[in-house]
Amino acid sequence: MPVTEANFVEDRSKQRAAATTTEMPTNRLCYCTYGPEVCGSANETCIKDPKAACFHSVELVHNTETKAMEKWHSYGCLPLELTMEGREASASHFQCNGWRSSHTQPKSIACCDEGNYCNKNITPPPFSNVPSTPEGGHSLESFISHMPLVLIVLVGVVGAALVLMLITCAIVSYIRYRKTGKWRFLPASRLPSKKRRSCPLIEHADNVYIFNNSNEKTKMLVDIGVEASSGSGSGVAHLVQRTVGGHLVRQEWIGKGRYGEVWKAEFHGSDVAVKVFYTTEEHSWKNEREVYQSTMLNHENILRFVAADIQGNQSITEMLLITDFHELGSLHDYLKRGEPLSSLEALQLAHSAVSGIAHLHDTLTGTGSGCKPEIAHRDIKSKNIIVKRAGVCAIADFGLAIRYYAKERRMDPANPNIQVGTKRYMAPEVLDKTLNVKDFNSFKHADIYSYALVLWELARRVDNGPLPANMSTNAPSLSNDSSIPTDPVAHSPSPTLSKRSDESSTGTARPYEPPFEGMVASDPSFEEMKQIVCEEQRRPPLEESWRSDEFKGTSLHLLADLMIECWSSKPSCRHSALKLKTTLKRMIESFPLSSITASDKWLSPAYQPPYRDVDSGIRSKTQS
């Protein structure tokens, strides 16, 4: 039978006193502790095969009484091993090398065949699967002996984590209650049905589509009546994501840009524009979605947001941004058409565009729903301005926009990159990286510079009637900023653009061209734009008719003054968006009725139908 470590020395002394060796074979005797039935004799001796070996094995066993691990030693004779053919081998090789393998129950063995009772004086190798501790014990033994303590510590850590989570949830709920005045533990879509309204597809006052049809298995958008405002425009477009995309029917591919593609689609009977972002532009999609969901962003001159979603299209993940669709497209496309603009329509477009920019730049404070942050667009250009109808446009594309929360003195994103946007429209301080990122007004000043270039694009397409006989349309740029050179050669437009090919030579409208056309390449580099704008201080050329004394006081003359003041190389000298909005409104209100053509009557304040006041926010002083 197995013996403990304490009886090991006593067992050895008894083995040495074993008698009657005269009747035993020589060099075949092994010390055996398995009892007479196994050993074959009563004196703790077994007889091995001449080719076999004696063994001494040790096993680590858990004592249930002492709660500790103990070593149990065993001695005996090993049998001969069988070969693959079933024959006996010449030794006990595999059994004697069993200590080299790991065992579930730690054990080891040593073998010998150097005379009688040789296994009394050999020591098995250390356990291969239980590392020894510095104290000479074993980690398994220590772990089992300290099991109650481990369980106590584990339960304590889990309990503390649960308590911390409950405290955090309570704090977050209390903060929401302080902001909204309502306790909210569940999203609106999971509130009891009696607290939600059922309504068909409508266009809500907050410019959000509401779907709550009991026949639909999936609710498309959450009914904002539970927690939004009373319809003052301060609500947020709520969305149950990953459901809207399945209800879109794409009809026509419109175009693609830096961030993705734009499609015309049908969404529950309404035409919408779907912007599909590339998978590499997830940050732009998230930023634009968050900007659109800003409190009180809704405005006539901000492109209306419908929803956002993520869906899988075959093996591609698509990030969707859904907005209103407008047939006329971008201002860039609108200006490239064959018909020139009238002075009044150009003023209306300029005013509605800057009205949207002014709304972005301004901060608004509401009751119960926080405040609207100041927003800098950072990519103002004619392609990012959507024409809703003649004379009315809206700002779009907020992938690069940055927000500023005045109360918290925090910008989002916190560390914006300076050189972003379209290089052709970048302000001087953006091109030379001198923009102060810690002052949010610096970003708004850069928007105004870009807007000045849009004004220049508008002014070029204005047909202001025949020119005086002594006036040429091929003229250098003029500026009241002394830092901008007035060299006729440096500022004259390209010779191929000196005269329109689609209009009479007596008109002042010119073919559309982007800013700095003929000065830089079609896709200019940062270095090329920096050389032109910062070092040479050049700006797009101004027509002589815009600055002539004979045209002083006309809309083009006043627009030219605004351009020069807004694209100044000194950001602090540029007008604010609110000042530009006020100035353009005054110009429209004072527009002479005698200058209004038949095609302008629908644009004139005197001929506006009632809804025009909502579109542009302008009413003529002469209107009754």
pLDDT band at 208 (very low <50, low <70, confident <90, very high): very low
Q: Which amino acid is it at 7?
A: N
Supply the pLDDT for residue 238: 52
pLDDT digits (tens, 9 = 90+) for 442-499: 999 999 999 999 999 999 999 865 444 443 333 333 333 433 333 332 333 332 333 3
Question: Which of 412, 392, 391 minimizes the C-alpha distance to 400?
Answer: 412
Same domain, 309 and 446: no
The alpha carbon dihedral of 29, 33, 38, 43 has a sign of positive
Same domain, 463 and 590: yes
**Lowest model confidence (mean pLDDT) among 212-216, 305-309, 504-508:** 212-216
Q: Establish how many alpha carbons lie within 13 A of residue 187's alpha carbon, considering only the half-sphere containing its beta carbon.
A: 9
Supply the pLDDT for residue 37: 87
Which residues, in sequence order, are CB contacts of 173 under 8 Å at separation 6+?
183, 184, 185
pTM, 2 dp: 0.56
pLDDT band at 221 (very low <50, low <70, confident <90, very high): very low
Q: For residue 184, tell me if it sits in a domain.
A: no
pLDDT band at 595 (very low <50, low <70, confident <90, very high): low
Q: For residue 508, tell me if it sits in a domain.
A: yes
Residue 578 to residue 6: CA distance in whole angstroms:
96
pLDDT at 178 over 60: yes
Residue 471 to residue 167: CA distance in whole angstroms:
78
Residue 314 to residue 319: CA distance in whole angstroms:
14
Q: Which amino acid is it at 396?
A: A
Q: For residue 558, tell me if it sits in a domain.
A: yes
Q: For residue 587, tell me if it sits in a domain.
A: yes
Burial class (CB in 10 A: 0-12, 13-18, 19+), 428: buried
Q: For residue 94, tell me if it sits in a domain.
A: yes
Mean pLDDT of 345-356: 96
Q: For residue 206, tell me if it sits in a domain.
A: yes
pLDDT digits (tens, 9 = 90+) for 297-321: 999 999 999 999 988 877 788 899 9
**CA distances to 232, 415, 589 from 622, in Å:** 29, 49, 8
Same domain, 421 and 475: yes
Supply the pLDDT for residue 304: 95
Same domain, 115 and 261: no
Q: In whole numbers, what is the pLDDT of the chain averaged over residues?
A: 76
pLDDT digits (tens, 9 = 90+) for 129-156: 665 554 444 555 555 555 667 788 888 8
Supply the pLDDT for residue 129: 62
The pair of structure tokens assigned to 24 is 């035993």
Phi and psi at 411, nearest 5°, equal -105, 145
Supply the pLDDT for residue 385: 97
Supply the pLDDT for residue 41: 81
Q: Which residue carries 């090789």 as its tokens?
A: 93
Supply the pLDDT for residue 554: 81
Indicate the residue among 133, 152, 186 that finishes a domain. 133
pLDDT band at 619 (very low <50, low <70, confident <90, very high): very low
Q: For residue 390, tell me if it sits in a domain.
A: yes
Residue 126 to residue 149: CA distance in whole angstroms:
28
CATH label of the domain that carries residue 274: 3.30.200.20
pLDDT digits (tens, 9 = 90+) for 515-574: 999 999 999 999 999 999 999 999 999 988 788 777 777 888 899 999 999 999 999 999
- 8 A C-beta contact, residue 380 and residue 266: no
Same domain, 258 and 380: no
Same domain, 39 and 66: yes
Indicate the residue among 90, 117, 133 that finishes a domain. 133
pLDDT band at 366 (very low <50, low <70, confident <90, very high): confident
Mean pLDDT of 586-609: 60
Same domain, 357 and 214: no
Supply the pLDDT for residue 216: 38
Same domain, 528 and 553: yes
pLDDT at 358 over 80: yes
CATH label of the domain that carries residue 542: 1.10.510.10
Which residues, in sequence order, are CB contacts of 574 under 8 Å at separation 6+?
445, 448, 449, 452, 565, 566, 567, 568
- Residue list for the binding site for ATP: 275
Residue 68 to residue 46: CA distance in whole angstroms:
32
Same domain, 315 and 346: no
Catalytic residues: 379
Supply the pLDDT for residue 17: 45
Residue range(s) defining the domain that contains residue 553: 328-611
pLDDT digits (tens, 9 = 90+) for 105-134: 888 999 998 888 899 989 998 887 665 554
Mean pLDDT of 184-195: 47
pLDDT digits (tens, 9 = 90+) for 235-276: 555 544 446 888 889 999 998 888 889 999 999 889 999 999
Higher pLDDT, 405 or 469: 405
Same domain, 74 and 210: no
Mean pLDDT of 426-437: 95
Phi and psi at 250, nearest 5°, equal -70, 135
Q: For residue 182, tell me if it sits in a domain.
A: no
Same domain, 279 and 376: no
Q: Which amino acid is it at 43?
A: N
**CA distances to 3, 63, 71, 109 from 6, in Å:** 8, 14, 10, 19
Supply the pLDDT for residue 80: 82
Question: Which of 135, 103, 114 minimizes the C-alpha distance to 29?
Answer: 114
Which residues, in sequence order, are CB contacts of 342 under 8 Å at separation 6+?
462, 463, 597, 599, 600, 603
74-95 as b/e, with b when 16 or more CB fall inside 10 Å?
bbbbbebbeeeeeeeeebbeeb
Mean pLDDT of 422-449: 95
Total domains present in the chain: 3
Omega before 413 within 30 of 0, i.e. cis: yes
Supply the pLDDT for residue 365: 85
pLDDT at 332 over 70: yes
Q: What is the CA 443 to chain-centroid distance, rounded? A: 21
The pair of structure tokens assigned to 549 is 């004394």
Indicate the residue among 133, 153, 171 that finishes a domain. 133
CATH label of the domain that carries residue 119: 2.10.60.10
Same domain, 294 and 426: no
Supply the pLDDT for residue 495: 29
